[in-house]
Amino acid sequence: MNETDIGFWGVPLAMFAGAIRVSTPFLFVSLGECLTEKSGRINLGLEGTLVFGAMAGYAIAYLSGSPWLGVLAAGISGCFFGALHGYICKLPKVNDIAIGIAMMLFGTGLAFFFGKPFIQPQAPHLPSISLGGWSSLPQVQSALEINPLFFIGVLLAVVMWWAFKNTRWGLIVRMTGDSAAAARAMGYSVDLVRFLATTVGGFFAGVGGAFLSLYYPGAWSEGLSSGQGLMAVALVIFARWNPLACFGAALLFGAAGALGPALQSVGITQGYYFFNAAPYLLTLFIMIASVSPKRSLKGAPGELSITK
């Protein structure tokens, strides 16, 4: 491959690599939100969970010297926020959307407060798996440096898709989300199922935050998330509450987010900031196209507040 070919393939390779990196936190947060919404509850607080998970993961990785301990700490912190959201929402006359917004502000505020001492220190980063050893081109090798969390996220999407269709646990979650009355008639505690789903969903979002701070971009700062937790809600609606579709939508969002850096990597800097806005424009377009009054939310759990 000559220099002309390398230049031609530069943008697609950069977008491929960027799509995988940028899509990983989207994937984890969207799977967490998908699980939560399948049980009949919306958690807009995952943005705060993502940011706090990024801070907690970075802090523990720095203090312990182990990035994987940081990932675990981020997931545990996500469980805490998910459990808190789930507990408050089971109280009478409580709106889950309002509580989600409050939890988002609470999580980001706590992260900024406790995270100030960790802005400057350098924590160890998560390792990557090199799949480009077969090529002598550094561009290909760089594009195929993939973090294990990406593969874990893909496996998780497949397992969730299969579990929703083929397991008793999946049937209970879906029944709780579609009809609380039917779940109660079968003897299941709707509040408990939703509490557990929200808690596990928070764990996934926390892990997504750890990816941001410990791999890409690989540092802790107060502007790290850039609204990815909120965009994940639009992603779940776009994916029609299907975990496999969440994976595809996460890759789409990741490619949109990687467009600006990919063009910059080959020397195209004009309109750079416009291309950086691609994920937000995509979110806006998806929300307008998906939540039109003339279109039904196919696949939406019947107990979601947005369907009532």
**How do residues 19-34 score in pLDDT, each as one tens digit?**
898 899 999 999 999 9
Residues 6+ apart with CB under 8 A from 97: 42, 44, 305
145 SS3 class: strand
Q: What pLDDT, on the 0 to 100 scale, is given for residue 4?
A: 45
Does pLDDT of 307 surpass 80? no
- CA 226 from chain centre, in angstroms, equals 12
Angle of helix 3-38 relative to helix 148-166, nearest 10 degrees? 40
Burial 247-257 (b: 16+ CB within 10 A, else e): bbbbbbbbbbb
Which of these, 100, 99, 90, 91, lies nearest to 32 by C-alpha position? Answer: 100
Q: What pLDDT, on the 0 to 100 scale, is given for residue 114?
A: 96
Q: What number is the average pLDDT over the span 254-267? A: 72
- Kindly give the pairing relationship between strand 145-146 and strand 129-130: antiparallel
Dihedral of CA 239/242/244/246: which sign?
A: positive
Question: Facing residues of 129 across strands?
Answer: 146
Cβ–Cβ < 8 Å for 21, 178 = no
Q: Using CA atoms, how far apart are residues 9 and 61, in angstroms rounded to an integer? A: 36
Q: Give me 170's structure tokens.
A: 């999946």
| CA distances in angstroms from 104 to 23, 57, 123, listed in the order given | 21, 18, 25
pLDDT tens, position by position, 108-125: 999 999 999 999 899 999
Q: What number is the average pLDDT over the span 93-116? A: 95
Tell if the pTM clears 0.95, that is, is over it. no
Q: Using CA atoms, how far apart are residues 265 and 269, in angstroms rounded to an integer? A: 9
Does pLDDT of 2 surpass 50? no
